[in-house]
A = this chain, B = another copy of it.
Amino acid sequence: MHQRLIARLQAVSGLAQEELAVLNALPHTVRSLDDRESILKEGDGAFNCVVLISGFLYRRKIVGDRNQILSLHVPGDIPDLMTLYLPTMDHDLISVGQSVVGTVPHAALRAMFDRQPSLVHTFWRETLIDAAIFRHWVGNLGALDALHRVAQLFCELAVRLEFVGLLNRGSFAFPLTQADIGSACGLSTVHTNRTLQALRRRGLLEWRGEMVTLPNRGALEALADFNADYLQRSSKSA
């Protein structure tokens, strides 16, 4: 069931045999979520971590008079891993579309770390990649205009979905609305709409129903000046 998580860890960190075994033995309960159902809210104290199995989640916070989406999450992600050491949520964790999550008690994770200490590094690194994504978005939101922000968003999603085998010839299921994209990119809904039209006009994005296609990823990544290094363990040395 943790296949997506394991695919992620395999792609991003690499896993040894023993580690795989221990990971597979992680106790967990499975739960389905409806569209816009929230898992955790700002201020909640967490005693479990959530592994996204299928669907999408996002983290969001009310900032000023807006709803800001802080991050999007794809299957294999553990969006609340940090609650292991910072148990009080400073934002909400919400499902977009129908999704399925596995819930793993903090205690089970700690027990796993005792049994297989090398996994501490693997999971620590997971939180570091999560941080790298936020850092990247600090740069995006601070320095890029609407077109480039949205392009960055889709480039990043494509790579992350690819890691876990959910990208098929440039296409993927995508249950978000344009308003969601706007609040992730710090844009109004209206301007998000116009920005998406610009991407469509350039032949870089197709979006029908809940299916998004990136017909020309190379061109999209060129437009966004996208580099995926921050999404994985730096493997390739100079």
- Which residues of A are in contact with B by a Cβ distance under 8 Å? 43, 45, 59, 61, 63-64, 66, 68, 70-71, 82, 85-88, 90-91, 120-121, 124-125, 127-132, 134-144, 148, 183-186, 225, 229-230, 233-234, 237-238
Contacts and interface: CB of A to CB of B under 8 A. Distances in A.
Given A64-B225, A129-B86, A70 B143 contact: no
Contacts of A130: 131
Contact of A86 (B43, B70, B132): B132
B128 A237 contact: no
A25 to B, nearest CB: 22
Given A63-B142, A85-B125, A124-B124, A91 B131 contact: no
Contacts of A142: 63, 66, 68, 141, 183-186
13 contacts: A63-B142, A64-B148, A82-B128, A85-B128, A86-B233, A87-B234, A88-B229, A88-B234, A90-B132, A127-B131, A131-B134, A138-B141, A142-B185
A185 B237 CA distance: 32
A45 B186 CA distance: 33
A84 B63 CA distance: 32
Contacts of A121: 85
Contacts of A185: 142
B90 A230 contact: yes
A68 B138 contact: yes
Contacts of A139: 61, 63, 68, 70
A186 B143 contact: yes
Contacts of A88: 229, 234, 237
A142 B142 CA distance: 8
Contact of A140 (B43, B63, B71): B63
B237 A66 contact: no
B138 A70 contact: yes
Interface centre among A66, A87, A91, A124 (most CB of B within 10 A): A124
